[in-house]
Structure 1
Amino acid sequence: MKRATPALVLLLCATACSTSPPKQQVTIPTSTPPTATPQSTDQGPPTTPEPVADGPCPYLDSTFVADANGQHVTKVRISADKPHPACFFYRPDGTVQLTVRVYVGDAKNAKALVDQAAPIATSNPASSPPGWKGGSLGQDKSSVYAVAKDVTAVIVTSNQAQSTKPRRVAEKAITALGL
């Protein structure tokens, strides 16, 4: 019996490797949702934003928020929303004390977001700053102030019962953003 030469073995291996069928590329769908919440959709208002990164808030100073809401701010986180991220201000115990959401898209969605946050049927009318309309609602352990103007909505929620606190923050955010 003849022995195979190393060149023959190499040739056989190369031939065997090259005749195998090509591997199919498998595309695995990802179940991870996008990190940015769209600011405007044809299917209605965007979903509620989530904090994804540490702050600061680009349009509100944490010292102002601490004074307006009456609690020390220990951390600020922001959402991935563009052009204006939602801002989440935290208390010393690690819970959110105040959230500011700015929506810029279309008038129908802006109004829907405001009505969702402070329903017309159950909230007090809100009209500050001038030209903005929406609702405010104070409850035992929370409050909201939500207003819209044209294609923009500003929604502020607080862990305080007085709706004057989120109103003050909303007015400051609107002014700071030049809206």
Structure 2
Amino acid sequence: MRRLVLLAPAVALLAGCAPTIVAGTATPSPPSASTAAGGELPPDPQPGATEDCPYLDKEFVAESNGQHVSKVRVSADQPHPACFFYRPDGKVQLTVRVYVGDAKTATALVNKAAPVDTSNPASDPSGWKGGYQSTDDGAVYAVAKGTAAVIATTNQKQSVKARTVVKKAIAALKL
């Protein structure tokens, strides 16, 4: 009983040391796996408007990926939206994401898509570096150069299809 009496003031004192949330202040969020040198990566693009991809022709994609393209949707990202190419059953067959910003984020996006530890090294086109690999759903080819990154994911297991599309996007955008 005596110990309780002695501990009561200490417990009361410590209770006042608990963190206080003040209205109007941001609460810290847990660390994210998607950080680039301490900063957050841009969110994954989402399909938006149904319209042509500004840097890839749907006939080229159909020929390169080996599937008919029934529809193309683009994200709201500017100035280079991500392009989503759909097959006739309504499922996405190929996606191309273009990022232009800072070099650390470009590299981090490539490493997120094709992690260095699990992917094969990629260096095509010349001067671009990244990786490619098969995934459960197909394949990915992702490369960065300076402040730019281009990432293609395909529902096909052959990464050469994604590489062909990436090279065409880089050439069309003059990156």
Q: TM-score range by the shorter chain?
A: 0.7 to 0.9
Offset of residue 156 of structure 1: 0.1
* Pair 1:165-2:172 in alignment: no
SS in 2 for 1:54: coil
User: Normalising by the residue count of structure 2, what TM-score does the alignment of the two structures yield?
Assistant: 0.77
Structure 2 residue 73 is matched with structure 1 residue 77: yes
1:50 aligns with 2:52: no
Kindly tell me the number of residue pairs found equivalent between the two proteins: 139
Of residues 109, 130, 135, the one that matches 1:134 is: 130
Counterpart of 1:156 (choices 144, 152, 155) is 152
SS of corresponding position for 1:135: strand
* Residue 119 (str. 1) matches residue 107 (str. 2): no
State the TM-score, normalizing by the size of structure 1: 0.75
Displacement, 1:140? 5.2
- Structure 1, unpaired ranges of 5+: 1-41
Q: CA deviation at 1:83?
A: 0.8
Say yes or no: does 1:110 pair with 2:133.
no
Tell whether the 8 Å contact from 1:79 to 1:85 is kept in structure 2 after alignment: yes
Pick closer, same or farther for the CA change 1:62–1:46 going to 2, 3 Å. Answer: same
Q: Which moved more, 1:140-149 or 1:101-110?
A: 140-149
Instruction: Tell whether the 8 Å contact from 1:144 to 1:163 is kept in structure 2 after alignment.
Output: yes
Is contact 1:125-1:134 (8 Å) kept?
yes
Cα RMSD after superposing both structures = 1.4
- Kept in 2, the 8 Å contact 1:45–1:110? The answer is no
- 1:69 is aligned with what amino acid? N
Instruction: State how far apart, in whole Å, the 2-side matches of 1:118 and 1:47 are.
Output: 16
Instruction: Give runs of ≥4 in structure 1 deviating > 6 Å.
Output: none
Relative to structure 1, is the Cα distance of residues 134 and 72 closer, same or farther in structure 2, using a 3 angstrom cutoff? same
Q: How far does residue 52 in structure 1 lie from its aligned partner after superposition?
A: 1.1
Q: Distance in 1 between matches of 2:83 and 2:125?
A: 20
- 1:176 equivalent to 2:169? Answer no
User: Could you tell me how far 1:138 is from its partner in structure 2?
Assistant: 1.6
Deviations 1:145-173 (A, max 9, x none): 00000000000000000000000000000
Cα offset for 1:141?
A: 3.8
